[in-house]
Chains A and B, each alone.
Chain A
Amino acid sequence: MKNLPDVTEQLRLLRENYAQQLPAKLAQVEDAFRQRDDLIELPNLRHLAHSLAGSGATFGYPALSVAARQLETLVDAALCDGRPLTPKESDSAAQLIETLAREARNPMVPAPAPILPASNVLETERKLIYLVEDDASLATDLSLQLGHFGYIVKIFETPTQLLETPVDPLLAAVLMDIVFPQGDLAGPEAIIQLSVARQLRTPVIFFSSRNDLTARLAAARAGGATYMVKPIDVGALIARLDNLVTDLPPEPYRVLIVDDNAPLASHHAVTLQSVGISTDIVTDPMKILAHLDDFKPDLVLMDMYMPGCTGAELAAVIRQLDNYVLVPIVYLSTETDTDRRLIAMQLGADDFLTKPITPEHLVSAVSTRLRRYRVLRSHIEQDSLTGLLNHAAAKDRLATETARAMRQQSCFCLAALDLDHFKNVNDTYGHLIGDGVLKNLAELLKRRLRRTDIVGRIGGEEFVVILPDTDTQQALHLMNELREAFSLVRQRASSDLTFTTTFSCGIAEYRLGANANDIHRLADQALYQAKLAGRNRVMLADSDEWREDDD
């Protein structure tokens, strides 16, 4: 049965195909009808009618089948007697052919409104959730909770309601209860029906107060992606949804190509782009620093011999930068002398690729290193609890962002966040529950912020958010939205006890000439002001502070 959604789709295609061919077939019928007095040609009309009669209803045209059958019978009677159609029969036949034409425009299953192929919908927009739950208060509560994490929830009270609604092309997932007044397994049964009847391509999460094997089996048979037992842990549900609704495709790998030979550099760039790697080219090695900061490469591919400095020297310079101690550096070179290669490696390169190199070899050598680098970097940079950047990595990014803003004369804001009375949470509910709160905040920040925003956990309950190309008013508005959303998130302490918590936030905007430490200090001061003013609020850094600072 697993093929059913696929069958529905194929069937739709066959129907479309049949519908497209119908006008031509009807033209053949009319043509044959015009030649009805020729007894040699008359069987052709019978055959055409027979064919329409036997296929119409299969492809959604039952009335067409009926009319074609009458036409076939009528012609068949004349043929059996070995005579042409009488004038009266001809009139009837003409009327039946008109009916055919009318019914051909009128398929029984109203041709399902063209469903947008999933690829037409931006992945980031796919956050619509269908929630099927007969307990209205639970439904409303879940809907609100999910809303805080950027999901739009449409509630259905019964599985029947769900079945009667056309599936929205933006649908990302279905949350389905198991037990309804309509039946102890009404939820999974409806999902099976939906899969049969329509194209349900989205994952389904079942939840229930039932925890028995029968219910779990029913959910599994209906193709459920996850089974959760009530009461629902919203944090766990969000984490699962985020996994299922993969609306954040992995960031493409970035390779910086350093080569004074521009055509050759472009050639390598095109080769790498063909497998989805994004590239940036530096033809003047003296300009590499700016490219490093702006492009933040995952790997540097460089020519060994260039004017101004050698590749080996350049590698040594890259290694002096804290952020790039780890980045793989790969030489492209005609160098085959092992000693010279060794020296270059000692100066910080990771590998040699010998020119000329085939595109396949280049892609393969680069891809392997890129994958390893990303994994390695994530281990080093991520906070293990929340998956956000850790303290050191967040500070690095802040430094990079400051340098970039200075060079490009752009703006950015830094928001410093701190959970309110977090010690109380830990003391009251225990550290595990406290960790849950931290994870929930991290999830919320990740979900609600742009990909270009940088989020880090820099201490126990302290977080920072770097908002590139954002001014203070935008940042204030955004952080206030997040603060309100978070204050409404129900944190689960136990199966029957929930609580809410809040954070305070201070925002500082980059000003020309400031360094990373200045900005961080000002954001922290604003955060302190927010705490003093009663917590659960967002404060902007005092612009006077900047003036004092300038003096």
Chain B
Amino acid sequence: MVVKSLERILYVEDEPDIRAVARLALEAVGGFNVCICDSGKAALDAVQAFSPDLILLDVMMPGMDGPSTLSALRQLPDLKETPIVFMTAKVQSAEVTRYRQQGAIDVIAKPFDPMTLSTTVRDIWNRHRG
């Protein structure tokens, strides 16, 4: 089976600094087509038009946090299967297990290294599809 290559990434993050560096890390370094939203609500508005291959969700955000954004996204017709990755500082194994149960395919530790973020994302994608 041909593995579809990862091209479009939606990133949801409330911190402006992290949004800027993530855009650089994913667009300029990784060469991805990136849509960045500053809240779970903005993500719900943008996601269908952008139709991402993969979604990166910050876990702790004011208002809708990562897990609730994930649930809301899953309610949308085209997003039943879209792989979602949590971005979080809490990477103890118990928490990772819990995030997986909530429907995330993986967890990326924050703070991340902007030069390697794209590689990490691509690795997760390949493991998930392969």
Contact = CB atoms under 8 A, between A and B. Distances in A.
Interface stretch (A45-53, A125-133, A249-257): A45-53
B28 A3 contact: yes
B32 interface: no
Interface string A42-73: 00000100110111111100100100010010
A69 B60 CA distance: 13
A26 B124 CA distance: 35
B89 A53 contact: yes
Contact of A47 (B28, B29, B62): B62
Interface stretch (B41-49, B66-74, B111-119): B111-119
Interface of chain A, helix or strand or loop or mixed? Answer: helix
Contact of A57 (B29, B62, B111, B115): B111
A288 B31 CA distance: 61
Contacts of B114: 11, 58
A14 interface: yes
Contact of B28 (A10, A51, A55, A196): A10
B89 A50 contact: yes
Nearest to B113: A58
Given A18-B17, A50-B60, A62-B111, 6 more contacts: A14-B20, A17-B17, A50-B89, A53-B110, A58-B21, A72-B89
Contacts of A6: 28
Contacts of A119: none
Contacts of A11: 21, 24, 114-115
Contacts of A3: 28-29
Contact of B24 (A10, A62, A65, A196): A10
A59 B17 contact: yes
Nearest to B62: A47
B24 A69 contact: no
Contacts, number: 60
Contacts of B28: 3, 6-7, 10
11 contacts: A6-B28, A7-B115, A14-B21, A50-B89, A54-B15, A54-B110, A58-B21, A58-B111, A58-B112, A58-B113, A69-B89
Contact of B111 (A14, A17, A47, A56): A56
Sorting the interface of chain A by its residue count into under 10, 10 to 19, 20 to 34 or 35 or more gives 20 to 34
Interface in B20-57: 20-21, 24, 28-29
Contacts of B62: 47
B21 A65 contact: no
A165 interface: no
A368 interface: no
B57 to A, nearest CB: 13
- Of A21, A55, A65, A72, the most chain B CB neighbours within 10 A belong to A55
Given A11-B21, A18-B17, A55 B29 contact: no
A59 B28 CA distance: 17
Contacts of A10: 24, 28
- Of B62, B111, B112, the most chain A CB neighbours within 10 A belong to B111
Contacts of B113: 57-58
A14 B89 contact: no
B76 interface: no
A14 B15 contact: no
Nearest to B88: A54
Interface string B101-130: 000000000111111000000000000000
Given A53-B89, A58-B112, A14 B29 contact: no
A21 B17 contact: yes
